[in-house]
Amino acid sequence: MYLNCHSFHSLRYGTIPLTDLVEQAHLCGIKAMALTDINTVTGIYDFVKLCEKYQIKPLVGIEFRTENDLLYIGLAKNQNGIAEMNRTITQHNFGTAPLLPQAPNFKDVFVIYPLENCPNVLNENEFIGIRPEELPKLYNPKWKFLIPKMVVLQPVTFRNKKEYNLHKILRAIEKNVIGSKLTEADYCKTTEVMIPLEDLMRKFEDYQQIINNTERIIAECNFEYDFNTPKNKKFYTKDRKSDMKLLTKLAYEGLIWRYGENNAVAKARVEKELKVITELEFSGYFLITWDIVQYSMSQGFLHIGRGSGANSIIAYCLRITDICPVELDLYFERFLNLNRKSPPDFDIDWSWQERDTILNYIFNKYGAEHVAFCGTNVEFKYRSIFREVGKVFGLPKEELDALAKNPMSKHSTNAVVQQVQKYGLMLEKYPNQRSMHSCGIIISEEPITNFSALEMPPKGFPIVQFDMHVAESIGFEKFDILSQRGIGHIDDTVKLVRKNQNIEVDIRDTSISKDEAKCNAFLSQGRTIGCFYIESPAMRGLLRRLKCDNYKVLVAASSIIRPGVAQSGMMKEYIFRHNHPDKFEYFHDVFKEQLGETYGIMVYQEDVIKIALHYAGVPASDGDILRRAMSGKGRSKEALQKVKDNFFACCAQKGHPVELSQEIYRQIESFAGYSFCKAHSASYAVESYQSLYLKVHYPIEFMTAVINNFGGFYRTEVYIHEAKMSGAKIHNPCVNRSEFQTTVSGIHIYLGFQHLKSLESKTALLIAKNREEFGLFQSIEEFIQRIPIGIETIQILILIGAFRFTGKAKSELLVTARMILMNFKPQNRNWLLLQEPLKEYKMPILPRSVFEDAFDEIELLSFSVSVTPFNLLQTSYRGDVMSKDLLQYHKKTVKMLAYLISRKHVPTKKGDMFFGTWIDVEGNFFDTAHFADCLQKYPFQGGGCYLLLGQVEVDYHFPTLTISKMAKMPFIADPRYASTEEKRFETQRQIKEDVSMTQRKPYPQEHEINLPRYKMNR
């Protein structure tokens, strides 16, 4: 009898989570119910599964609304019915067809109109929904004769009074008004709750025909969905046989290209994988991915295939990835095996500048009706919850800011705030809006509207109304088409080297970069600023601790740096064993044979498979089940217990002692949930090497590319500093040399206009375009004639030195610009100014200090170019010790002067601490540790230079200064404001620092890792 139930997927309307909705129906004795969320099918597939669990017949549909007006409810008779409704909602979402008060001529949908929107004529599949409280109206002849077309309508939106209030709050958030401004038309009726079926039937006991109509709809609605059959595009060619023929041909061609004619090991691996791909019918997926990659290469784009797909030699031969699984002993079973029912998953990265071209190709090649992005539910977040709910209660902006920024323990305790907290906490994990998955694309065999309505976000690519997890559960596997700034660094560097030095670098040829001697030297010294994945302070410190100087160690480092692996304690143990290979024993011979490369430590997800296979004798495919079960990927406790029992049974068959098997299982269990895929690490390592190769051999072009792509670990200032250290000459923006982005000519780098904080991008682009059309600017007067510009904008350009080519002082240029623009009218630009020569005035000579330029730069760029921050200090002291000498001062107290680059928050059991990254006056980096007790007395005070006192601790070749005292050093007074005392020290407060916060549990100490370094006594 419940034909109109809302879950919280009725965004900013429904209040009941889907699971709770079905559980409540079960408790109320309901045997059939319909999910009809507003203009969406987001929850229908999970709903069907939940109903199956409770033996409830699921009906699925949509409640059609415009604004807040209920038009009608549609219930699908079958899957075709859902497709019909999806197409209607899609047309509405795309703006091609509005939702009309009367339903389209659906063929497989029952339509239920509310009493207030009842059409004059009803089709056979159309009915009127009558609420219990509306039954007295049936005494009116107007409605009485329509009883044969009526059904029970008991909407469900909330569960109790508290949720009814929450519903009103959601409606106010949706309408962006305070709660008192809502009208009755804005929210649902107080009766929209689920009551026991018996009570509902009792209300309609005098209207058996209405009950019969309702039961008829329930009986005729039979939405059945096959969750087990793949829904992706089936074939790349005309059929599966042709697909396998093409895939086999491409695989063997790639085999010869990658390995030569006579590599028996690689050939056997290709044959093995082809057999599995054939049996699982995944050839089409491989070929579609290959097709996308082929198009990319034809356009000259750089792509990087990563993820578990790199475990496949077929992917390597098809050039989807550049990771050799034979070289790294990668198990194909980690990617694809006969026990894995879901399709494989390739992750492919492109430059953020080229990704849209790839997306357009996919949508055009495979058809707009068959391609869409996965959706994602954006939940209410902590900050937004209290801000949004606080608005509903009418709190002023200052209080909203305090609620959003501070933890609840610091909130005010007044009654209104308590209400905000009460309802805000209810909204945690509630969906707030639907958005586009960052990279996941579905390519469907059938039109996608057979499964979901589509939405069109501003980005311009359609999205389905469910997320990637639902997509996988209903038979779709997404293609991950990612964008990445790191590839932009590499791609742009290659182009800059070609333009600047006329050298062609084939960076796709990984043999030139991987394990190259000079790159390895930089790697071991942590000289990796700007390089993908290996530039953060933590990663540079790890590289130095390991003296990492080869590909395989870098692959391991790329894995153990991950928070999960470090959390398990494996990172600390790996560093110890790498540096002390004679101070541990392999726990068992299998660990030496299979994990010798990583000193018997499970560093990768594949290691779980190896131990299960070679120690216990469990097949590799079952080992992958063990890994997935332990990592919580869609496996129940029962499934985990099953694989655990199988593990010990296999161990017993091999004759292993029970105690030994238990300890090995404990190690697997402690690690598996945190582990990282080796193929991921290898992909990252290859890209890191590509970045590093360019940094080592073409540092100026590389740093220019990093500056232009943004998105690195550090702010632009740090990359400009690194470019200087590489021998570049840095120039401020110039109207005759600079483009919107930063450019390079020889060793000269000209900062782009985009770095000027207050300069509009359209003006910046116009300057470059005008110069290209009409030539260089000869004077500031001519510049004003040619470029529409106001006095504030021209002042920005003058102060940054963009007219230094004129040889005139900034003060003279400012006076000239003001005199020209004072009485200037835009309509005269193209006539009078070009006709009449401008008067020349003799300007007074106003002396200007280099420090004035530096403060101009800080104000306009956030950092100084003409001098270093050290030049701006009041003191001439530069510290007793330089970064390059720290290794000589182990356990000694030193005093250093340094400029703050970044700091990272780290939780410990003794309180929060920070790691700092600095440069000394010679421009070299070093790191500091600041413990909680020290921070209380000597906290960070923003960006700038500090005097540091601390003890040097050398940890496996890596020195860190543990701070005992520090003080921020004052800059000189800003000479531009000599007569304005309050502004003399204001500009220096704009000096930035990079701060990263960490939300995780403290890492374990060495004694807590509990990983034996010696064999068990047996």
The pLDDT tens digits for 949-959 are 999 999 999 99
- pLDDT at residue number 834: 45
> Which uninterrupted H or E stretch holds 92?
helix 79-93
743 vs 704: CA distance, rounded Å: 7
151: pLDDT confidence band, cut at 50, 70 and 90? Answer: very high
- pLDDT at residue number 832: 44
829: pLDDT confidence band, cut at 50, 70 and 90? Answer: low
- pLDDT at residue number 469: 87
3-state secondary structure 332-380: HHHCCCCCCCCCCCCEEEEECCCHHHHHHHHHHHHCCCCEEEEEEEEEC
Residue with tokens 């060619």: 237
Contact 656, 615 (CB under 8 A): yes
Question: Does 512 or 35 have the greater pLDDT score?
Answer: 35
β-bridge mates for residue 373, sequence order: 441, 463
- pLDDT at residue number 798: 96
Query: 0.85 cut: is pTM over it?
Result: no
Mean pLDDT, residues 577-590: 91
Residue 840: pLDDT over 80: no
828: pLDDT confidence band, cut at 50, 70 and 90? Answer: low
Rounded to 10 degrees, the C-alpha dihedral 866/870/872/877 comes to -150
Residue 673: pLDDT over 60: no
DSSP per-residue string spanning 465-480: SS-HHHHHHTT---EE
877 vs 110: CA distance, rounded Å: 83
With a pLDDT cut of 70, the percent of the chain lying above it is: 92
831: pLDDT confidence band, cut at 50, 70 and 90? Answer: very low
Residue 774: pLDDT over 80: yes
Residue with tokens 């531009």: 976
Q: How many CB atoms lie within 10 A of CB 924?
A: 16
Among 108-117, 180-189, 203-212, 626-635, the range scoring the smallest mean pLDDT is 626-635
- pLDDT at residue number 833: 45
Mean pLDDT, the chain, whole residue set: 90
Rounded to 5 degrees, φ, ψ at 139 are: -75, -15
874 vs 887: CA distance, rounded Å: 29
Using DSSP bridges, classify how beta strands 109-114 and 126-130 pair: parallel, antiparallel or unpaired.
parallel
Q: What is the pLDDT of residues 279-289, one digit of tens each?
A: 988 899 999 99
Q: What is the pLDDT of residues 958-1012, one digit of tens each?
A: 999 999 999 999 999 998 887 777 788 888 888 999 888 776 666 666 555 566 7
312 vs 344: CA distance, rounded Å: 10
Token pair of 717, please? 């200032």
Contact 428, 380 (CB under 8 A): yes
Please tell me what DSSP assigns to residue 94. T
549: pLDDT confidence band, cut at 50, 70 and 90? Answer: very high
